[in-house]
Amino acid sequence: MPSPIKKWLLIQPLSLPVLCLALAILTVDTTSPVALTLLICTGILAYLISRKILILSILTSLTGALLHHAQLTSQHKATLLDGEKIEILGIVHNIPKSNNNRNSEATIKVLQGPRIIENTKISAYIPHQNNLAIGQKIRLKGKVKIPDAPANPSIFNKKSFLHRKGIAIEINNSEIHTTKLTAPSYHLHSFAESARKWIRKKLTAGIEHSSSSDIILAMFLGEKPTTAGDIMTHFKHSGTIHVFAVSGLHVMMIGLIVAIALKLCRLPTHIWIPCVICSMFIYAIVTGMNPPAMRASIMGAIVLTGLLLLRKSSLPNCLWLSGIIALISDTHSLFLPGFQLSYTVLIAIAFTGNWWMKRYEWINYIDPFFPHSLLNKKQKSWLYIRKKTSETLAVSSSAWAGSSILIWTYFGIITPLAIIASLPLMLIVFIILITCCLSLTIGTLSPPAGKILNKCNAATATTAHLISKYIASIPNTRHQSKPWASGERIVIYHIPKGGAAAYLSLGGGILIDAGNKNQFYKEIWPSLNKNKARIDTLIASHPDINHVQGLTQALEKFPIKQLLIPPGKTRSTSHNKLIASAKAKETKIITPYKKTLPIADNIHLEILHTPPSHSPLSDDRCLVFMLHWHNKRILFLNDSGHNLEHWIRQNNHPPNKTKLNPHILVIGKHSTEESIHPEIIAQLNPKTIIATQSYFPPSQQRSQEWINAIKNQGKQLLLLNQSGAITITQTNQKLQLKTTLK
């Protein structure tokens, strides 16, 4: 008599092979001994169960390991071209999205060029004026660059993102020449893009440029809404953001809609089943061939084919088979959140659905001794509704329980109320998809009728938004990761091109400078927002665009109570706009003249130096302040130059009794002068120096001389272009410094 585990594995013979495949890919990617040990143990288990399962496990794991190793090797070889100028002939793999009249990124498949990157994909920056089509052949000439790792905490990791798409390098174009040739292998991609354009036009006819049209396109095509940023926030906080990602649910609904329509036409089984399978694959292809959609199409095709052949299909076995196909077709997909969430949800539904169904039996309970034949139509309808409600709640609960850990890991949020919110929204999504299908068919024959349907669909989409907004507004219904909402820390950001920013998670929270507008939204805001930073005070060190322009954006994002600015008037447009925005929001504006700003118990900010307000250069008008933090001192010199050096020589010694002696010195770089002289740094005598710029004196030789002079003093020197952002914390009255880059 076989054990229950052996019996279960024999019923699902593909479970161990897909597990071996995943572990083999993980072992090759991470070289982890734990993954290798688990792979060997799984192989031994397969041997004990069945030789056929063992052989299949070995074949899948070897295939996955070899494919992934070849992919990683190809990507590694591509990085050897870093810094070289190359010329390639490539195929446009995806259309670059518009980016406010700036160069946009596109994925290019290399046909001709350096041998080590032929038949691989690279990322390229395409000028916005170039209108490209998928499959179009183009010639590019430019310099190869390896994407940078994120230098600031919790911001988008472009390098990792491209790596999981099989891309290792990007090319900054100096020349681009388009051709009218199209690669035959991209006809399917070209068809999908043409279909998307046609669908967008049809589904938005009569409701163009509205938030409801964005919701419709997001639900039907999976396109992220481009307007009204609150839409994404409301759906995310209500736990229903998944309705914007074309997944197995959408594919299943499209297949169901087509099946109902064909069965109403009284078509025989051997006709409507192949039509439904084709419709699911076409929908998955048109919406971008996302892994969850393709997985659902494969599973649906297997189940329907079994139905056509009068064979009952096993949902778990269909799931394992689709997993094998998906991983072999793209081994990197194992590490993608979409792939992991899709399969985790399906596994949870398959193995915990019945358990959840029993938890909700009370909803559709009826006395087992009561004959159903005695129920009238109203009672039967009510019983049917209750059954469907309990089934939907069971599926929603198992899906939520299965995905919650991954959602917390990747997105830092858990919304238990999503179990309830999914009930009306899934029905609304189904109605929207039905209306979209009607609009595409009827609207093609009669455009006025299509516009009427679109307006009805817009009302439905607005209802979905209102429901998500209401659920999101209910207090204490979600739990978010807020690592910076409590505790004390200081983050010195790495801002390129002369910018600077520092976040003090002390008291109500302080932001010192914030780069320019682009730097704020690229390097600072994602970090502050993801970590849920608290900020009520802004400090502008001096009126330079790369320091203060981002503070205007911070005024819009945080409940700012006060703003500290240097004294005097300035011609800086960005600085004047910051002041005007602060006045419009009735924010208290403080112009300090050597004063102390209390922050919290044993924490205060001391303004040490306020330079003359008549200086023509903004860098000559830097505020200099010392942070007193539990008996530790951090001195911010910002972009000060010779004027500050002169002031330090005069004031930083007895009998003036203003000996600074900070534990940490944070310095920038004056725009026209050399860095703070090593003699001045020796006089200040800090233990650690954090340099906020990667360049110091004008020449490389003198820059290295400056660095060597600092190190010869026995100081710890951290250059932000090498270390990335630095997070400073205190433990047992000792300062702890953590760099973002290794």
Pairing of strands 664-667, 632-638: parallel
DSSP letter assigned to residue 374:
G
Pairing of strands 537-539, 562-564: parallel
What's the pTM?
0.85
pLDDT on residue 669 = 84
The contacts of residue 362 (CB under 8 Å, 6+ apart) are none
Distance CA(554)–CA(545), nearest Å, equals 14
Tokens 């992919």 map to which residue?
A: 71
CA angle 349, 350, 353 (to 5 degrees): 55
Distance CA(137)–CA(142), nearest Å, equals 16
What CATH architecture does domain 82-182 belong to? Beta Barrel (2.40)
Tell how far CA 712 is from the center of its chain: 43
CB 106 within 8 A of CB 132: yes
Assigned token pair, 211: 């938030």
The contacts of residue 220 (CB under 8 Å, 6+ apart) are 199, 203, 250, 287, 432, 433, 436
The contacts of residue 258 (CB under 8 Å, 6+ apart) are 275, 276, 279
Distance CA(651)–CA(453), nearest Å, equals 76
Distance CA(22)–CA(42), nearest Å, equals 11
Please count the other Cβ atoms lying within 10 Å of the Cβ belonging to residue 641: 21
Topology, domain 541-551+562-739: Metallo-beta-lactamase; Chain A (3.60.15)
Tell how far CA 44 is from the center of its chain: 39
Provide the H-helix boundaries in 79-167: 158-163
Cis peptide before 4 (omega within 30 of 0): no
pLDDT on residue 350 = 84
Assigned token pair, 183: 């690669």
Task: Round the CA-based radius of gyration of the chain to a whole number and report it.
Answer: 31
Tell how far CA 100 is from the center of its chain: 20
> Looking at beta carbons, which pairs linking 647-654 to residues 24 or more positions away fall under 8 Å?
647/609, 648/680, 648/683, 648/684, 649/680, 649/683, 652/683, 652/684, 653/683
Regions of the chain where pLDDT drops below 70: 1-2, 96-103, 128-129, 226-229, 313, 594, 652-658, 693-700
Instruction: Please report which helix (H) or strand (E) contains residue 505, including its range.
Output: strand 501-505
What is the phi/psi pair of residue 173, to 5°? -75, 135
Assigned token pair, 451: 């516009």
Assigned token pair, 684: 């200040």
Tell how far CA 667 is from the center of its chain: 32
**Please, what's the b/e burial string for 699-734 (b: 16 or more CB within 10 A of its CB; e: otherwise)?**
eeeebeebbeebeeeebebbbbeebbbbbbeeeeee
CA angle 591, 595, 596 (to 5 degrees): 115
Pairing of strands 734-739, 726-731: antiparallel
Residues pairing with 480 in the sheet = 413
Query: Coil, strand or helix: which one is 287?
Result: coil
Taken as a whole, the chain contains a residue count of 742
DSSP 185-215: GGHHHHHHHHHHHHHHHHHTTTSTTSHHHHH
